[in-house]
Amino acid sequence: MAQTAAESALAAPSREDFAKLIDESFGDGHLQEGAVVKGTVVGIEKDVAVIDVGLKTEGRVALR
């Protein structure tokens, strides 16, 4: 039985699709530990600043 377009869109992505999405999310940036990047402070917690740097998760920087 052939799948409709809606059924195809709801199908789980393949490993290759997932790998492609990961590669796209990092773009051309070759970030590595210690790299300096621009970001926006989005919150202050008990002892860290939460920084949005445009990646999948926010960065955390110790306040002291």
Residue 18 or 1, more confident: 18
pTM of the model: 0.50
Say what the pLDDT of residue 51 is: 95
Q: Which class for 8: exposed (0-12), middle (13-18), buried (19 or more C-beta within 10 A)?
A: exposed
Say what the pLDDT of residue 2 is: 62
Instruction: In whole angstroms, give the CA distance from residue 18 to residue 22.
Output: 6
**Which secondary structure element, helix H or strand E, spans residue 22, and what is its range?**
helix 15-26
Phi and psi angles of residue 53, each rounded to the nearest 5 degrees, phi first: -110, 15
Digit-coded pLDDT (tens) for 4-55: 666 656 778 788 888 887 777 766 666 777 888 889 999 999 999 999 988 8
Say what the pLDDT of residue 43 is: 96
